[in-house]
A and B are shown apart, each in its own frame.
Chain A
Amino acid sequence: MRYSALSIFKQALAGNLGWKPAWREPQPKPHYDVIIVGGGGHGLATAYYLAREFGIRNVAVVEKGYLGSGNVGRNTTIVRSNYMLPGNEPFYEFSLKLWEGLERELNYNVMLSQRGIISLYHNDGQRDHYVRRGNAMMMEGVAAEQLDRETLKKMLPFLNFDHARFPIIGGLLQRRAGTARHDAVAWGFARGADRLGVDLIQNCEVTGIRREDGIVTGVETTKGFIGCNRLALAAAGNTSRVGEMAGLKLPIESHVLQAFVTEGLKPCIDHVITYGAGHFYISQSDKGGLVFGAEIDGYSSYAQRGNLATAEHVMEEGVTMIPGLSRVRVLRAWGGVMDMSMDGSPIIDRTPIDNLYLNCGWCYGGFKATPASGFCFAHLIAKGESHHVARALRLDRFERGFPIDEAGAGTQPNLH
């Protein structure tokens, strides 16, 4: 059923008893054209765009838990396209453009809030880096603005201008960046895909990948074997484990990233702000909680929980950037398992195995990429070739020597 103010009005008068399920709960069919492993944001978006843009509707998404149970429901909801390298910037800008039309596209309010992201810098070297980044954005036609200290003082008077160990000298602003309601993105794509005929199969864990004559023919699952012509992996966080079922070894390490939310507060921070003398970033949700995070814990982990030392360090960065956070209380911490790739950038590509497609390596930046990741992955699956904005996101870029290393940190995943 279509969502609108009118439907809310009508249903309300009927006691809200007439609302229909947002998606069906189908049993798996024996065979699909495409099976997508992973019912998170990227998997659901891929299914949606396969059906919507490329006319492939005989599609199943198999999910071991509930829809959106991975990192799409466990992130800090930031959406932006302020990247520097030519392998990344066009892709993330394509994603942001899709975000901007997503609500009408999906008939679902994902609460995209283009409140702007401000990346602070604290010394001349950082300033030059952000200028380089800002100009790279503008080369791609993406608006960016440089803010000086005085402008920042007016915009964000609560920042630490007077007692900072690393004084704030300026910032880079992307106004079109912002936040979105993370769960709603998964639900919106799920509902959209379902309405186009995609089967969303929850509580269905893939236990094996069946190959005949080297060609993938389907997946073994906790609900039995399901056949397919093409198999697409979108299981970030568990990419290596699923890939291993097909004999793939990948340039991925799993790491835990913590995020936090405070108690609800009346509006006090109106932008997304990132700290240049650390990794801290913060925004305020529409419900009032301050949502924030910083660096990954640093060790390989599949546990969705973090350690206290890192949490304390995140808070240190927070009060150093915004002293007034000191008396604000942190409500909850959570941990997401990140596919950390060897250069900090993702992979959307075919694999050496026929009919097996791979979408992984999102590090801690996967949420903002959700629409473009789905679109480009669907493009690859449907057409057999990369979408032009995703051409650099190849699996073989490491052995061929074309890394996309935004941090310049090399092949140590925990430094990205």
Chain B
Amino acid sequence: MTAYRLASGGLIDRSNTIGFTFDGANLSGHAGDTLASALLANDRLLVGRSFKYHRPRGIVTAGSAEPNALVTIGTGARRDPNTKATVAELYDGLAATSQNRWPSLAFDIGAVNDRLSRFLSAGFYYKTFMWPAAFWEKVYEPLIRRAAGLGRTDLPRDPDGYEKSWAHCDLLVVGSGPAGLAAALVAARSGLRVILVEQDFALGGALLSETTKLDGEAPYIFSRHAIDELHGHPGVTLLPRTTVFGWYDDNVFGAVERVQKHSATIDAARPVERLWRIVAKHAILATGAEERPLVFGGNDRPGVMMASAASTYANRFGVAAGRSVAIFTNGSSGYRTAADLSARGVEIAALIDSRTDASDRAPDGVRVVRGGGIVDTKGRQRVRAVIADRGGFEEMIACDAVAMSGGWSPVIHLACQRGGRPVWSQALQAFLAPEVGDGLVMAGAAAGHYRLSECLDDGARKASAIVEALGRPVAGFERPVVGEEVDPSFTALWHVPGARSKAFVDFQNDVHGKDLGLALREGFGHVEHAKRYTTSGMATDQGKLGNVNAIGILAAMRGVSPAEVGTTTFRPFYTPVSFGALAGSSRDEHAMPVRRSPLHGWAARHGAVFIDAGLWYRSSWFPKAGEKTWRESVDREVRTVREHAGLCDVSTLGKIEVFGPDAAEFLNRLYCNPVLKLPVGKARYGLMLREDGMVYDDGTVSRLGETHFLVTTTTAMAAGVLSHMEFAAQALWPELRVRFLSVSDQWAQMSIAGPKARTILQAVVEDDLSNAAFPFLAAREVRLKGSLKARLFRISFSGELAYELAVPAGYGEAVADALMRAGEPQGLCAYGVEALNVLRIEKGHVTHAELDGRVTPDDAGLGRMMGTSKPDFIGKRLSTRFGLTAADRAQLVGLKALEADKDMRAGAHLLKDGAKPSTVNDQGWVSSVCFSPTLGTHIALAFLKSGRERYGEKIIVWDRLRGVETVAEVCDPVFVDPENRRLMA
């Protein structure tokens, strides 16, 4: 048995001893312990160091509001920094290390800050470190950064998995204490679908540490019966180790379940944490109440803890907070703790009650100091005495722990996350949750009902009302007989007068009473200003303990009620949630889905190098044996297409079928160029604008029948264009009879381009493909040899004689193989999007490199396409704005490199020869660049101010970012076959 472990009692399994380490020391505890209770049992009171002054700190609470006892749990890549020892379930092999100290927890150099603290008052850093200017980043900031922060991480890759789950219920009960259990029992018995969530690893809440008898037995017995019963109801889900962290619109709650955070060995098949999104018709917050610290001199000394925590450690964990405990209280809770500790044989050094008129009765033999207060504590790494003051008479009382009770605050956090402000209750001297509507109600201590009997009644009552609201008969709940109970009344005491040393309000961030006074003095008295200026309430506990005292102190100093001071804003997360839990399995390669073309396998068999294109993998080039660089492959592919023929996978283009009697009229309004009179069996280039007159997307429009069109989009915009079309059809012109079907995934589509394209294609197509029978821009269904129906379009991006052949996706590879075989004698090669890019640049065709959302059709040299005589099309009207028609707009031009040894790269800007670089002198920018094997030089597409008037001008291609400046000649963007002879061949 260890130093502070009581001889008996508690809900721990004394037969099951668990080994763990703290800062390398081998220690042991029992199943059912938290890390904090085990550390206390081992006389390890010093657990951490505070944020600013690096003061030694111990364990303050027995729950999730803990500000001090933060440790790093785990080793290697499984280290979890800033874990609260007070909620960490002890497991065999748990390895914990202390934080924010160097070189050791007991001797921390950073503690020098404490000696200098008078110079480090609230906001001191706003007033200094300004000289000399460069010193901030170089000297001061690194020092501050190193001193600040708590836990350490090297950001290693997390070996563990996470998952997400939805849940739906009639009633969500948050908290499994007396109110929560009573509510869950009533709802379950009434047949509701109930989810009961508890942040602790054990269900039962306060019943696990409460000593008031229920039906003559320890209250945890009642909780066990209740939980057993709940387990038997089919509609009930119990979620221990789960924290509801947020309340969102539509009564959706976010919760995180710690599935495997209590084990040294992780089952890789299961997540370590699971995120729940719980959709609840109703919710009851039975989240209890938080005990308030008292703000007295030296109240942060290790050994000073909440009175309720001292009771919990004794009653639930069988651990004494000390051998001789001084109790400081402003209400009856301190007496309760005195009784709990006395009953377990712990000596009470004194019970100091700030009230003079209290009638509470202390256990026999306990000395009570009424009307007194602690003004200081003694000891360094563990309290060894307190200085109590009563009416100016000071007395030193030896002790090795202090239990403090400053009253109670209902835990209302979740109820205030959606804009409702807490309401001050003068009677309870506490903030209560606002009325937030039917979906969420508070019950038990969270509603300000502190007595055990009230909690049980209130939980049952609130659940009954919900059952009724859902139109179900209410099942009965017979409240167990409650033994003698204490009404935890108190007299608010925000600040204990006469503090002889720092009296902390926010423990972790080292904000003490004088800091708040300074803030007020300097004009930062608004609660938000005080928080932001002093950092009170901004630590990892988000002020769960300290905020109410800060408000009370500000109120007292300003001479107003806490109601007038108000609270800072409650926001998610109730307690911190890991990135991993919130991200779930969407990470790494699985961050986004992968789309593969139906020709992916074909391309892979031909050795394609693939490249990301949005979600798609596209074949980029097809290296052949002996080719050392991608350029060699691409140059060969381009030359092969220009001289023989090539086959390119273009399946990723968006394909949308448009049907209906008004399909032509609809498309005529959608595209800026005319579509209405497009003949059946023909295709046309189509340009879509946004309503602001800028180019949105381009593609082809093919009329397959009088009332049937097929439009293509760029790969990137496929989804956007479909939505855009649906919006136009449903929200703009619902009177038009038109329907769409996205068939992007249904067709494998390949481009066969080059002078030999017709010969090759004719080998697999039954239909006559002669120029007369299938001219440029023909588009219709054809039959392949072997009778497969396909769609053939005589369109060209490369500028060559070219076709796009679409076959049902499942036939894609077979048809591509057949074409490759048929094309082999003709020199057909597979080519990828890199070669396609070169081919289209040579031909002056634009892609999204040019159409970047700021370009008009005229900018792109496509102004003549605009059907200005059409009565209406999207983008027509705003195209005529002054700025969109200005003569000095940047226009698409070609650039020919004049210096062969210098690179021209996309993203370069353009400058007049001899002009000084400046934003004003900036003439434009380069959108696409390639080496043209056809021309034997680098060429580019660029946007140049008034560019079409400047053909022949020599211009500086200015790429200072890469350190390259070169000269190019401005020219027409069509470098190859401007007469379209190849296209029409």
> Which A residues contact B (CB, under 8 angstroms)?
3-5, 7-9, 11-13, 15-17, 19-23, 25, 66-69, 73, 86, 89-90, 100, 103-104, 107-115, 122-125, 127-136, 138-141, 144-146, 158, 160, 163-167, 181, 183-184, 187-188, 202, 262-269, 277, 284, 286-288, 303-305, 307-308, 311-312, 315-320, 322-334, 397, 399-403, 405, 407-411
Contact = CB atoms under 8 A, between A and B. Distances in A.
7 contacts: A109-B126, A128-B927, A135-B961, A158-B154, A184-B126, A330-B576, A334-B569
Pairs of residues from A and B, 7 with the lowest C-beta to C-beta distance, nearest first: A408-B853, A324-B155, A131-B907, A401-B883, A288-B149, A401-B881, A326-B158
Interface string B931-975: 000000000000000000000000000111110000000000000
A323 B588 contact: yes
Given A288-B148, A316-B591, A69 B692 contact: no
Contact of B907 (A13, A69, A132, A158): A132
Interface stretch (B116-124, B731-739, B859-867): B116-124
B111 to A, nearest CB: 17
Contacts of A327: 78-81, 153, 158, 578-580
A17 to B, nearest CB: 8
Contacts of B587: 316, 319-320, 323, 326
A372 to B, nearest CB: 15
Given A104-B130, A139-B922, A16 B571 contact: no
A128 to B, nearest CB: 4
Interface of B: 51, 78-82, 118-119, 121, 124-131, 133, 136-137, 141-142, 144-146, 148-158, 160, 162, 164, 246, 248-249, 252, 254, 275, 277, 417-419, 514, 518, 521-524, 526, 528-529, 532-533, 535, 538-540, 542, 569, 571-573, 576-580, 582-584, 586-592, 594, 611-613, 690-694, 696, 848-849, 852-854, 878, 881-886, 905-909, 917-922, 925-927, 958-962
A160 B579 contact: no
A314 to B, nearest CB: 8
A325 B962 contact: no
Contact of A266 (B79, B149, B419, B526): B149
Contacts of B252: 308
Contacts of B886: 401
B573 A333 contact: yes
A267 B119 contact: no
A369 B692 CA distance: 27
A269 B587 CA distance: 20
Contacts of B125: 109, 111
A323 B961 contact: no
A200 B680 CA distance: 71
A104 B129 CA distance: 10
Contacts of B418: 303, 305
Nearest to B920: A86
A348 to B, nearest CB: 18
A16 B155 contact: no
A7 B961 contact: no
A407 B417 contact: no
B542 A331 contact: yes
A392 B523 CA distance: 38
Contacts of A165: 588-592, 594
A134 B694 CA distance: 24
A263 B909 contact: no
A333 B126 CA distance: 25
B207 to A, nearest CB: 29
Contacts of A401: 693, 878, 881-886
B589 A308 contact: no
Interface centre among B275, B848, B849, B906 (most CB of A within 10 A): B906
A312 B909 contact: no
Contacts, number: 363
Contacts of A267: 142, 145-146, 149
Contacts of B127: 3-4, 7-8, 108-109
Contact of B854 (A11, A326, A408): A408
A325 B158 CA distance: 8
A277 B592 CA distance: 10
B524 A266 contact: no
A12 B572 contact: no
B50 to A, nearest CB: 12
A400 B573 CA distance: 46
Nearest to A343: B692
A318 B579 contact: yes
A332 B568 CA distance: 13
B582 A263 contact: no
A190 B927 CA distance: 45
A265 B130 contact: no
Contacts of B854: 403, 405, 408
A133 B131 CA distance: 34
Contact of A160 (B151, B588, B848, B852): B588
B692 A324 contact: no
Contact of B419 (A4, A25, A305, A400): A305
A188 B540 CA distance: 27
Nearest to A184: B126
Contacts of A145: 961
Interface centre among A3, A7, A139 (most CB of B within 10 A): A139
Given A3-B128, A287-B149, A318-B583, A131 B962 contact: yes
Given A112-B136, A410-B853, A138 B960 contact: yes
Contacts of A5: 128
Contacts of B848: 125
A264 B150 contact: yes
Contact of A320 (B162, B254, B588): B588
Given A16-B121, A410-B853, A139 B918 contact: yes
B919 A140 contact: yes
Given A12-B118, A132-B908, 14 more contacts: A21-B523, A86-B922, A125-B849, A130-B907, A165-B588, A305-B571, A312-B582, A315-B583, A316-B586, A328-B153, A329-B577, A330-B573, A400-B881, A401-B886
Contacts of B925: 132, 135-136
Nearest to A323: B157
Given A288-B145, A326-B583, A327-B579, A136 B853 contact: no
A265 B532 contact: no
Contact of B153 (A9, A12, A167, A324): A324
B121 A12 contact: yes
Interface centre among A184, A332, A409 (most CB of B within 10 A): A332
Given A132-B907, A138-B961, A286-B141, A8 B124 contact: yes
Contacts of A328: 81, 153, 155, 578-579
A181 B582 CA distance: 27
A189 B833 CA distance: 54
Contacts of A307: 248-249
Nearest to B906: A128
A308 B118 CA distance: 43
Contact of A22 (B130, B248, B522): B522
Contacts of B151: 263-266
A134 B884 CA distance: 26
A135 B960 contact: yes
A184 to B, nearest CB: 5
Contacts of B80: 327, 329
Given A266-B152, A401-B881, A135 B583 contact: no
A411 B692 contact: yes
A104 B133 contact: yes
A405 B696 CA distance: 14
Contact of A109 (B128, B249, B533, B853): B128
A324 to B, nearest CB: 3
B911 to A, nearest CB: 8
Nearest to A169: B612
Nearest to A2: B127
B572 A332 contact: yes
A312 B583 contact: yes
Contacts of A411: 690-692
Contacts of A407: 853
